[in-house]
Amino acid sequence: MVLGPAVSPVVPCIYWDWNATTPPHPDVLAAMLRAAEEGWANSSSQHRLGRAARALIEGVREQVGELLRLHSRDVLFCGSGTEANNLALRGASALVVSRLDHPSIVRVAEELESGGLPVAWVPVPESGQLDPAEVERRIPVLAGGAQALVALTLANHETGVVQDVVGIAEAVQRLGARLHVDAAQALGKLAAIPWELFDSCTLVAHKIRGPQGVAALAWRGRAPAPVLLGGSQERGLRPGTLSAPLVAGFGAALSRIDPGRYLALRPLRDGVEQALVPYGAVNGTTAARLPHVSNLSFTGWTGERLVAALDVRGICVSTGSACRVGTAEPSAAVTAMLGLERARSAVRVSLGEDATAAQVERAISIWIPLLTARSSSASSAT
């Protein structure tokens, strides 16, 4: 048998794409290995091995319930944040959303709107932070006790801008609507999240150094409508066999979250911006932002080309949402905030727990010559 050429080892790089996914922490991997050895059985089985797997899952369910200050029975495990958001939105009588939201909210809203569901779109200011008064103006008061659902991405996945969730929650409560919050990017990064104000929320394991393939949807009061039909797992709301190792990894990741780790990254993030802003512009600086995220636009570049140029030089960044893989679409958030031209030249930097001053210095020493070489080339051509 003739084998193909050996695969080259991965070249070490500066990984600044933590908003896309985070490397699983060693504690998470250890917890998953233990669960794979002890909880590999079907958690729906009634025998002792099934009960062992179920005990692992239920322990993490209680952990999530405690974090969110709600009954663990109202915590549902699913395969992704996208699935969780779909579950949360599908049964709505009317929706209020914005173009800043994650694609798993925006695209569901677009589909439901095309099918006749009332959907109100909140205008997006240049800051990227929604005005609670504008949200309130678009919340319909429905007849017959039906409630509109306001869907909100707490911390934007592309710019890091944090929404005024308290102000929006107050508006939602005044008009008797419900509030769904996608907290995937905010979990573990913000020091104080008012979980008790949310009627439902989405948490995602791989954004906090947990495994890919597991997320949670939690709610207060009315349960979501199922998207899939099948068995009775997860109260029939999400049929299918749960993976105890994935859920155990989620629990291990939750056990180690510490917003202080990300707060400590702010000086490094600011250092990146200060070094690069003479060559471009930072998007979303007039509102509160996650401390490890920067979205920058560079005239003369497309985000896609700059990401590729940095990649071959050992720096991993992105143009925005990793959910747009295989496309050349510019950042939806920056487009909504500042227009298409600004978005086309935008890249996202999202630092991680392993970031250091030396790493920043090295990255800047690579990035600035790339930008200046391009500027010099453009000047010579004219």
Looking at residue 238, what is its pLDDT?
A: 83
Mean pLDDT, range 60-84, rounded to an integer: 96
Model confidence at 327, pLDDT cuts 50, 70, 90, reads: low
Mean pLDDT, range 35-42, rounded to an integer: 92
Per-residue pLDDT of 230-289, as tens digits, reads: 776 777 678 788 999 999 999 999 999 999 999 999 999 999 999 999 999 999 999 999
Helix, strand, coil % in the chain, rounded to nearest 5: 45, 15, 40
Instruction: Determine which helix (DSSP H) or strand (DSSP E) holds 95, and give its type and residue range.
Output: strand 95-98
Q: In the annotation, is 13 catalytic?
A: no
* Average confidence score pLDDT of the chain: 91
Looking at residue 227, what is its pLDDT?
A: 77
Looking at residue 326, what is its pLDDT?
A: 52
CB 283 within 8 A of CB 334: yes
Instruction: Determine which helix (DSSP H) or strand (DSSP E) holds 316, and give its type and residue range.
Output: strand 315-316
- Domain pair 26-255 / 260-375, same fold: no
* Distances 233 to 52, 227, 238, 242 between C-alpha atoms, Å: 16, 13, 6, 8
pLDDT score of 379 more than 60: no
* Token pair recorded at residue 29: 């991997």
pLDDT score of 85 more than 70: yes
Report CA dihedral (54, 226, 109, 220) to the nearest 10 degrees: -60
Closest CA to 152 of 204, 106, 220: 106
Report CA dihedral (215, 91, 182, 210) to the nearest 10 degrees: 0
Q: Is 129 left (phi over 0), alpha (psi -120 to 50) or beta?
A: beta
Instruction: Determine which helix (DSSP H) or strand (DSSP E) holds 367, and give its type and residue range.
Output: helix 357-381
- Choose the catalytic residue: 78, 201, 316, 323: 323
Tokens 């700059």 found at:
306
Looking at residue 140, what is its pLDDT?
A: 93
Share of the chain above pLDDT 90, in %: 82
Model confidence at 3, pLDDT cuts 50, 70, 90, reads: very low
Which residues, other chains included, contact 126 with Cβ-Cβ below 8 Å and sequence gap of 6+?
286, 337, 338
Looking at residue 1, what is its pLDDT?
A: 38
Mean pLDDT, range 327-346, rounded to an integer: 89
- 346-350 and 315-316 as β-strands: parallel, antiparallel, unpaired? unpaired
Q: Where are the domains of the chain?
A: 26-255, 260-375
Looking at residue 105, what is its pLDDT?
A: 97
Share of the chain above pLDDT 70, in %: 92
CB 131 within 8 A of CB 309: no
Dihedral (CA of 202, 198, 150, 349) sign: negative
Class of domain 26-255: alpha beta
Per-residue pLDDT of 160-216, as tens digits, reads: 999 999 999 999 999 999 999 999 999 999 999 999 999 999 999 999 999 999 999
Looking at residue 4, what is its pLDDT?
A: 40
pLDDT score of 378 more than 70: no
What is this structure's pTM?
0.92
Query: b/e map of 210-233 (b: 16 or more CB within 10 Å)?
Result: bbbebbbbbbbeebbebeeeeeeb
Looking at residue 375, what is its pLDDT?
A: 57
CB 253 within 8 A of CB 25: yes
| Alpha-carbon gap, residue 11 to 324, rounded angstroms | 24
Looking at residue 9, what is its pLDDT?
A: 47
Looking at residue 239, what is its pLDDT?
A: 77
CATH among 3.10.20.30, 3.90.1150.10, 3.20.20.70, 1.10.10.1200 for 260-375: 3.90.1150.10
pLDDT score of 2 more than 70: no
Looking at residue 377, what is its pLDDT?
A: 55
Mean pLDDT, range 7-13, rounded to an integer: 57
Looking at residue 317, what is its pLDDT?
A: 96
